[in-house]
Copies of this chain bind each other. A is one copy, B any other.
Amino acid sequence: MSSNHQNGAVLGTEFTQNVIDAMGPKTSPRLREVMAALIRHIHDFAREVQLTTDEWMAGVDMINEAGRMSNDKRNEGQLLCDVIGLESLVDDITFTAATNSTSGLTASAVLGPFWRQDTPRRENGATISFDTPPDGQVVYMHGKVTDVATGKPLQNASVDVWQASTNGLYEQQDAGQREHNLRGVFHTDAEGNYSFYCLRPTPYPVPMDGPAGKLLAMMDRQVFRPAHIHLMVLSSNEKEQVQHDGYKSLTTQIFDKECKYLGNDSVFAVKDELTVEFVPRKGDAKAPLELEYNITLAETS
Which residues from chain B contact A31 at a C-beta distance below 8 Å?
Answer: 218-219
Contact check, B41 vs A93: say whether CB atoms are below 8 A apart. Answer: no
Copy number in the complex reads: 2
Chain B residues lying within 8 Å of A150, measured Cβ to Cβ, are: none
Contact A52 B90 (CB under 8 A): yes
B27 adjacent to A97 (CB under 8 Å) = no
Contact yes or no, B11 A89, CB < 8 A: yes
Q: Does A49 contact B (CB under 8 A)?
A: yes
Contact with B along A252-274 (1 / 0, CB 8 A): 00000000001111001011110
Number of interface residues of A (CB under 8 A): 98
A84 interface neighbour in B10, B27, B38, B93, Cβ under 8 Å: B38
A2 and B45 in contact (CB under 8 A), knowing A63-B77, A77-B63?
no
Other A-B pairs, 19, CB within 8 Å; known A18-B268, A64-B67:
A2-B271, A5-B92, A8-B101, A15-B85, A19-B268, A22-B221, A23-B220, A24-B219, A33-B49, A34-B51, A37-B48, A41-B48, A46-B89, A46-B93, A53-B90, A63-B77, A63-B80, A64-B66, A67-B77
Q: Footprint of B on A, CB under 8 Å?
A: 1-5, 7-11, 15-16, 18-19, 22-28, 31-35, 37-39, 41-57, 60-61, 63-70, 75-78, 80-81, 84-94, 96-97, 99, 101-105, 107, 111, 218-222, 262-265, 268, 270-273, 275
